[in-house]
Amino acid sequence: MKTEILKIRSIVSDIDKIRRAGELLRGGEVIAIPTETVYGLAANALDEEAVARIFEIKGRPQDNPLIVHISEEYDLEKLCEDIPESAYKLAHAFWPGPLTMVLKKKDVVPGIVTAGLDTVGVRCPRGRFARAIIRSAGVPLAAPSANISGRPSPTDAKHVIEDLDGRVKAIVDGGRCSVGVESTVIDMTRETPVVLRPGGITLTQLKRVLGKVDTSFEAVGEVRSPGMKYRHYAPKAPVKVLIGGLSDAAEFIKKQSANRKVAVICFEEEAESFKETGAPVIPYGRESEPAELARGLFDALRRADESGAEEIYAREPGIGEGIELAVINRLEKAAGYNRIILDMNQ
Ligand code: TXA
Ligand code: MG
């Protein structure tokens, strides 16, 4: 299939392309669209056949539910019931934005979207192009990240083209995503809301509105969000997280690169020291600015592969309650929880 590339710079000057995207979606096609988090592989959420094709195109396991995207907050009530007061508070505080709320679904939401669960994840994205496309389509859109299942999520149209050119009817190119990691997923059907996936809305922000939140995504072995159990975000070469001081880390990389091709994903502040090792260095943002790390991580993982590295070593930020949590979560998953802890006394 020939993939149409619809490049959009502004809603006003490119309104014909927004309309084209809306028309394709209304007609049951699957297309990739930009959002503020990552690109999504979208289809009419109320059209079972169109949704089934999303799973096929991505190679996504059938038991992993999709997020439904709406353009207006009040559309939540068309898709969900038994909505607690706390969910309205979150919508008021963070929508449109990178927050997905899991709520009891109404019958209009087909079982294929939710992988048979009686709950549905709903999000009202902040991305202006995404909202304009949803409005133009006139239907809610089911959309997982627009990557081949298991690969790093796409934060630029070129990543989507890499994975899906020829497999989708159209790719809407809206430039780079401003957040760079996916939405925070929170289960609002529990007495105490449970964060299932850390993301663009931080724990600090959630706690400010909700008071108490359960963060069991940190619990090892417990799978509450079906998507959390699969290998994810992974480049082709194996990734290892490198923990320890900069000089030890640089020393380690120097030794490793004597034997094979390795690449280093690191903070801007560390780039000079790693460059001295001779290995390809891919900085993904400043350690002091976690939002930059979030924006740059998935692109860095893809570029590490392009460098031809047989092994990728990555530096991860210190833990807190901000967006660095999402960065750490994605990196640890990309690494399959493989970490190398450098011991200065060795
Ligand atoms: O930022 C985002 O959320 C992006 C953009 C495109 O909106 N979408 C995205 O979708 O990341 P996806 O499919 O890659 O991740 C959706 C996550 C999965 O971990 C899935 O298991 C979880 O949300 N999820 C969806 N519906 C759920 C439900 N009813 N109960 C529990 N988890 C759910
Ligand atoms: Mg995904």
pLDDT exceeding 90 applies to what percent of the chain? 91
For residue 216, what pLDDT is reported?
Answer: 76
pLDDT digits (tens, 9 = 90+) for 199-253: 999 999 999 999 999 987 654 444 556 555 556 788 889 999 999 999 999 999 9
Whether the CB of 120 sits within 6 Å of ligand 1: yes
Whether the CB of 194 sits within 6 Å of ligand 1: no
pLDDT digits (tens, 9 = 90+) for 293-323: 999 999 999 999 999 999 999 999 999 899 9
Atom of ligand 1 nearest to the CA of 121: 26
Q: Of 175-184, 239-248, 335-344, which gets the smallest average pLDDT?
A: 335-344
Question: What residues are paired with 103 via a beta bridge?
Answer: 120
CB count within 10 Å of CB 211 equals: 10
The structure tokens listed for 64 are: 């992993």
pLDDT exceeding 70 applies to what percent of the chain? 95
Best mutation site among 38, 82, 134, 185 for ligand 1 pocket (most ligand atoms within 8 Å of CB): 185
> In which residue are the tokens 């949803």 written?
134
DSSP per residue, 110-134? -TTTTTT-SEEEEE----HHHHHHH
Burial (CB count within 10 angstroms: exposed 0-12, middle 13-18, buried 19+), residue 337: exposed
Q: Is a pLDDT exceeding 50 seen at residue 343?
A: yes
Mean of pLDDT over the chain: 94
For residue 219, what pLDDT is reported?
Answer: 43
Element (H, E) at 76: helix 76-79
Which residue's alpha carbon is nearest to atom 3 within ligand 1?
183
Q: Which ligand is nearest to the CA of 153?
A: 2
Question: What residues are paired with 266 via a beta bridge?
Answer: 283
Query: Smallest Cα–Cα separation from 237: which of 138, 297, 308?
Result: 308
pLDDT digits (tens, 9 = 90+) for 35-66: 999 999 999 999 999 999 999 999 999 999 99
Q: Is a pLDDT exceeding 60 seen at residue 255?
A: yes
Please state the rounded mean pLDDT for residues 164-186.
Answer: 98
The structure tokens listed for 234 are: 């992974």
DSSP code, position 214: B
Atom of ligand 1 nearest to the CA of 117: 29
Whether the CB of 226 sits within 6 Å of ligand 1: yes
Whether the CB of 145 sits within 6 Å of ligand 1: yes
Q: Is a pLDDT exceeding 60 seen at residue 111?
A: yes
Whether the CB of 143 sits within 6 Å of ligand 1: yes
Q: For residues 280 and 307, is the Cβ–Cβ distance under 8 A? A: yes
CA–CA distance, 70 with 131 (Å, rounded to integer): 8
Question: How many degrees, rounded to 5, is the angle at CA 37 between CA 305 and CA 68?
Answer: 115
Query: How close is the Cα of 144 to the center of ligand 2, in Å?
Result: 6
Query: Smallest Cα–Cα separation from 100: which of 200, 180, 192, 176?
Result: 200
Query: Smallest Cα–Cα separation from 105: which of 71, 67, 141, 138?
Result: 67
